[in-house]
Homo-oligomer: A and B are copies of this chain.
Amino acid sequence: MFFHRKELISAVQVDEPDAAFGQKLLEQFGGATGELTAALTYWVQSFHVENPGIRDMLQDIALEEFSHLEMVGKMIEMHTTGVDQTAAYKSSLFSIRGMGPHFVDSNGMCWNAGYINEGGNVVRDLRADIAAEAGARQTYEALMKMAPDQGTKKTLHTLLTREIAHTRMFMSALNSLGKLDDPMFGNVPPDETVKLYFNLSKEDGKDQRGPWNEDRGLDYLEDPAPQGAAPKDPVNPDDEASSASSSRQKRAR
Contacts and interface: CB of A to CB of B under 8 A. Distances in A.
Given A56-B208, A98-B121, 14 more contacts: A1-B67, A6-B201, A7-B203, A9-B227, A60-B198, A110-B113, A114-B115, A127-B134, A161-B191, A164-B190, A165-B193, A168-B212, A172-B212, A173-B210
Nearest to A239: B206
22 contacts: A2-B66, A2-B70, A7-B228, A33-B117, A47-B100, A55-B208, A57-B213, A63-B198, A90-B146, A95-B145, A98-B121, A99-B120, A102-B113, A109-B109, A114-B114, A114-B115, A131-B131, A137-B185, A138-B186, A165-B197, A175-B211, A176-B211
B100 A73 contact: no
A50, A99, A183, most chain B CB atoms within 10 A: A183
Given A109-B107, A164-B194, A206 B6 contact: yes
A81 B160 CA distance: 25
A224 B33 CA distance: 25
Nearest to A118: B102
Q: How many copies does the complex hold?
A: 6
A243 interface: yes
Contacts of A73: 44, 47
In order of increasing CB-CB distance, the 6 nearest A-B pairs are: A107-B108, A8-B228, A98-B120, A7-B226, A59-B201, A131-B131
A127 to B, nearest CB: 4
A10 B231 contact: no
A50 B227 contact: no
Contacts of A57: 208, 210, 212-213
Nearest to A51: B234
Interface in A132-187: 132, 134-135, 137-146, 157-158, 160-162, 164-165, 167-173, 175-176, 180-181, 183-187
A253 to B, nearest CB: 15
A71 interface: yes
A27 B120 CA distance: 15
Interface string A44-84: 10011011111111011011101100110110110000000
